[in-house]
Amino acid sequence: MTVHSPNPRLLRALAKDTTAVSIIEFALVLPLFMTLGMYGAEIAWLNATALEVSQVAISMADNASRIGQTDNSGVTPTISSDDVASVLTGALEEGDTVALADNGRVILSSLEGNPVNGKQYIHWQQCMGKGKQQSKRGKADPTGGLLTSVVNGLTMGGKTIKAPAGGAVMVAEVWYEYKGLFGTLFVDNIVIHEEAAVIARDDRSASAGLTGNDKKNAC
């Protein structure tokens, strides 16, 4: 069997030939750049979604605190189920950019003080959205039975929040089921939870409870 040595001229010619080198290099680094670009887009969208959910929670609590503020009658405005439904609907519409109605749930609770002993409790709670999450603050107890989780006030952000005598604090919670732009390639499915609390502005008859079809949006 005869073994032929490589042709020196051919080897030198191949070594000097730089045709299509840039194309080959581009083909080698393209998958890396695409992966980094996709990962960056995923993280950016996740952060944007979390910010959107946080803003919805803040807006919902603020809007709930203003219920009845434009009522010029001499009677203290009563927070009704229709008022609360409007706030919840507005929150879902605000989160339409991330399809909040289909992928999450908004919950509004009224933290109040028991007129007998001053202890805190959740008087009523209303929800909207296709999500099945429950409030982290517990369910409402219209009888003032005093849930142990909030009996001394609601802890949020390292601070204890209490409703004033005869008043209420509107507690908004937003749940969102985040699904990655590229499935679970870069991040697993995440459940985002944000909340905010704002004291009811001016005088509100929150302790009278909801009126109308109270069970429609009950959690």
Tell me, yes or no, whether 22 lies in a domain: no
Tell me, yes or no, whether 107 lies in a domain: yes
Tell me, yes or no, whether 10 lies in a domain: no
Tell me, yes or no, whether 180 lies in a domain: yes
Type of residue found at 52:
E
pLDDT digits (tens, 9 = 90+) for 48-94: 999 999 999 999 999 999 886 655 554 566 778 888 999 999 999 99
d(CA 91, CA 170): 14
Percent of the chain with pLDDT over 70: 78
Tell me, yes or no, whether 217 lies in a domain: no
Q: Give the count of alpha carbons within 13 A of 71, CB side only.
A: 18
How far is CA 106 from each of CA 25, 93, 127, 164, 176, rounded to the nearest angstrom?
51, 11, 6, 24, 9
| Residue 86 buriedness (CB in 10 A; 0-12 / 13-18 / 19+) | middle
Tell me, yes or no, whether 11 lies in a domain: no
Tell me, yes or no, whether 207 lies in a domain: no
d(CA 127, CA 125): 7
Domain that holds residue 171: 34-199
Sheet holding 120-128, edge to edge: 120-128, 104-113, 168-178, 190-199
pLDDT digits (tens, 9 = 90+) for 86-142: 999 999 999 999 999 999 999 999 998 887 787 898 888 999 999 999 999 888 877
Backbone angles phi, psi at 34, to 5 degrees: -65, -40
Task: Please give the tally of structural domains in the chain.
Answer: 1
Q: What is the DSSP letter of 95?
A: G
Q: Which carries the bigger pLDDT value, residue 15 or residue 187? A: 187
